[in-house]
Amino acid sequence: MIDLVKLHVKAGDGGRGCVAWRHEKFYPLGGPFGGDGGKGGDIYFKVDTNETTLTKLRFTKKVKAGNGMPGLTKKMHGKSGDDVIIPVPLGTMIRNAENHDLLADLTKPGQKVLIAHGGRGGLGNAHFATARNDTPEYAQPGEIGESLSLVLELRLLADAGIIGFPSVGKSTFLSVVTAANPEIADYPFTTIEPNIGVVSLPDERSFVLADMPGLIEGAGDGKGLGHEFLRHIKRCRVLIHMIDMSGDQRNPIDDYEIINQELLKYDPALESRPQIVVANKMDDEYAPEYLEEFKAKYPDLKVFEISALTHKGIDQVLYAVMAEIEKAKENDDILEDEVEETVVYRYEPKRPDFEIINYGSHRWKVESDKVDRIVSQTNMDDPDEAYRFGITLRKMGIEQALYDAGVQDGDQVIIGTYLMDFTEQEDQS
Ligand SMILES: Nc1nc2c(ncn2[C@@H]2O[C@H](COP(=O)(O)OP(=O)(O)OP(=O)(O)O)[C@@H](O)[C@H]2O)c(=O)[nH]1
Ligand SMILES: [Mg+2]
C-alpha cells in the first residue's frame, strides 16, 4: 500500500521595514529610526514515529506559516512569524508536485527538514542613511515566503520488522539492539503500534528496525486488529520471525505455522518476503528441548538461537538481517526506484544565478530567481533604491553579461516585474 497526499505549503512573508524618525529632546531632527520587519515563519516536516499514515494530512490541503510583523520605530525588529512543523510518519517522501523533484526522503526517526523558507523581513529606514541622503524616506517591503505544491508519499516503515505471537519478546529485542524504549510486559498486546529504532552495526552499516504488535490466529481475517497490524508488516523489507522457545504459552511449532498462514491469508505476496527465524528465550530451561523438536520438524530451516534477556546470539541475527536487507534492496525495483540517487533535501533553484534572453527588437530579459527576489524587495520608484539595485546588478555580473550579449544603450530590459531602460549609470560609489 502506498499512501499519497497532496499538500500546498506557503511559508510566511517577511514583515515590511519601518520608516520612522528619531524624536528626542536633544535630537529634534533625528535620523532615520525605523526597525526591520520580522522574518516569515518556515515550514518544516518532521518524522514522528507515533504517526503511521498520512491520513491526517489528507484533508488538510493547505498549510501556512505565520507572517513576520512590520518593523517598529526605535529600530525595533518586527516579531518573526511562527514556524510550522508538520509531523509525518517514517518513510515519508516529499516531492515538488510540479517537477517531481524529491525534496526530502525522511528515513530517520526524528529527522526534520526545512521545506519552505519564510521571507526575510524588509530593512527599516535606519539602514539607509548614506552620505548622500541622511533622511531616507523608504524602507524595504518584506520578502515573499516560499510557496510550494507538494506530493507526500509514504513508502517503507522500516527495513526490518519483528513479527510473532504476543509476548514472544519482540519489544525486548528491539530495546536491546536499538536506543528505542518500548513498553515490555508479560501480558499480550503490550505493543499496539510499532516502535522504531535504528540498529548500528560495528562496521557502520545500519538499518531501521520496528517491533510489530503481536499476531494471533485469525489475524489474517482481521481478528485482534490483525489487519491494522499486518498493514505495517507489509511495509518491512525483511521480517524477523520470533518464536518463544520456552513453550510457556504455546507450542513453538504451532506458533511458527500459524503466523505464516496468517501472513499469507492477508497477502500472498508476503510469502516471498525474506524471513529470519529466531528462537528466543533460549535461557529458559525447557527451551533446548523445544528447539530440538522444532529443528527436527524443519531440518532445512536456518534458526537463530538467542536470548533477548541475556543478550546471547544477538549479533548473528543482526548481521543476517543486514545481509537480507541489502539483498532485498538490490532486487526490488518498486521500493527503490531512483530514490537514493536523487535525494535533494532542500529546495534549490537549479538554474545558475541568471540567464539573459534576447527577445529581439532591442528587448531583453534577465531571468533569475535571485534577481526576482531582490526586485520584490526593492522600491524602484525610489531613486536611491533604484540606484542601489543597479549596483547590485553590476556586482552580480549582470551588467557585464548584458553588454556581452550585445545590449545597447537605450534597449529595454525586463528584470523581475520591471521594464527598464538600459542606460549607462554614472559611477557614484
Ligand atoms: N526468559 C526470557 N524472557 C524474555 C526474553 N525476552 C523477553 N522476555 C519476556 O517476555 C515478556 C514479553 O516480552 P515483550 O518484549 O513485551 O514481548 P512482545 O513480543 O513485544 O509482546 P507484545 O508486544 O505483547 O506482542 C516480558 O516479560 C519479557 O521480559 C528472553 O529472552 N528470555
Ligand atoms: Mg511488544
Q: Which CATH number does the domain housing residue 107 bear?
A: 2.70.210.12
Is 123 in the same domain as 4?
yes
Among 184, 262, 286, say which to mutate for ligand 1: greatest number of ligand atoms within 8 Å of CB: 184
* Paired residues of 4 in beta bridges: 153
428 in any annotated domain: no
Q: If we measure between CA atoms, which residue out of 58, 63, 16 comes closest to residue 36?
A: 16
Residue the block writes with cell 499496539? 192
400 in any annotated domain: yes
User: Which of 75-89, 134-148, 221-235, 270-284 has the least mean pLDDT?
Assistant: 221-235
Is 30 in the same domain as 171?
no
Residue 236 CA to ligand 1 center (angstroms) comes to 21
178 in any annotated domain: yes
> For residue 157, what pLDDT is reported?
63
- Three cell numbers written together for 366: 534577465
pTM of the model: 0.55
Residue 197 CA to ligand 2 center (angstroms) comes to 13
Mean pLDDT of 216-231: 85
Confidence band (pLDDT; 50, 70, 90) for 136? confident
Which protein residue's CA is at the shortest distance from atom 21 of ligand 1?
167
> CB under 6 Å to ligand 1: residues?
166-172, 184-186, 188-191, 211, 213-214, 280-281, 283-284, 307-309
168 in any annotated domain: yes
Q: If we measure between CA atoms, which residue out of 118, 115, 65 comes closest to residue 93?
A: 115
Is 174 in the same domain as 296?
yes
- Domain end marker among 155, 178, 198: 155
318 in any annotated domain: yes
Q: Evaluate if residue 217 carries a pLDDT over 80.
A: yes
343 in any annotated domain: no
Which atom of ligand 1 approaches the CA of 310 most closely? 31
- Domain end marker among 335, 369, 402: 335
- Three cell numbers written together for 29: 531632527
306 in any annotated domain: yes
Is 233 in the same domain as 313?
yes
Among 172, 173, 242, say which to mutate for ligand 1: greatest number of ligand atoms within 8 Å of CB: 172
Q: Evaluate if residue 36 carries a pLDDT over 70.
A: yes
Which protein residue's CA is at the shortest distance from atom 14 of ligand 1?
169
- Domain end marker among 103, 138, 155: 155
Q: CA triplet 360, 363, 369: central angle to 5 degrees?
A: 115
Q: Which CATH number does the domain housing residue 265 bear?
A: 3.40.50.300
What is the average pLDDT value for the chain, to the nearest integer?
85
Is 162 in the same domain as 138?
no
Is 95 in the same domain as 198?
no
346 in any annotated domain: no
Q: What is the pLDDT of residues 323-354, one digit of tens each?
A: 999 998 776 543 433 333 333 333 333 345 78
Is 359 in the same domain as 309?
no
Give the up-direction half-sphere exposure of residue 309: CA atoms within 13 A in the CB hemisphere. 14
- Give dist(CA 103, CA 105) in Å, integer: 7
Q: Evaluate if residue 51 carries a pLDDT over 60.
A: yes
Residue 169 CA to ligand 1 center (angstroms) comes to 3
Which atom of ligand 1 approaches the CA of 164 most closely? 19
Q: If we measure between CA atoms, which residue out of 14, 8, 9 comes closest to residue 145?
A: 14
Residue 311 CA to ligand 1 center (angstroms) comes to 13
Which atom of ligand 1 approaches the CA of 184 most closely? 16
Residue 297 CA to ligand 2 center (angstroms) comes to 27
Q: CA triplet 92, 97, 98: central angle to 5 degrees?
A: 150
Which atom of ligand 1 approaches the CA of 172 most closely? 15
Q: Which CATH number does the domain housing residue 393 bear?
A: 3.30.300.350
Our count of domains for the chain comes to 3
Contact, 153 vs 2, CB < 8 A? yes
Q: What is the pLDDT of residues 85-102, one digit of tens each?
A: 999 988 898 999 998 888
Is 182 in the same domain as 326?
yes
The amino acid sitting at 173 is F
Alpha-carbon distance values, 283 to 27, 33, 233, 308 (Å):
85, 76, 28, 9
Q: Which domain holds residue 390?
A: 355-421
Q: Evaluate if residue 26 carries a pLDDT over 70.
A: no
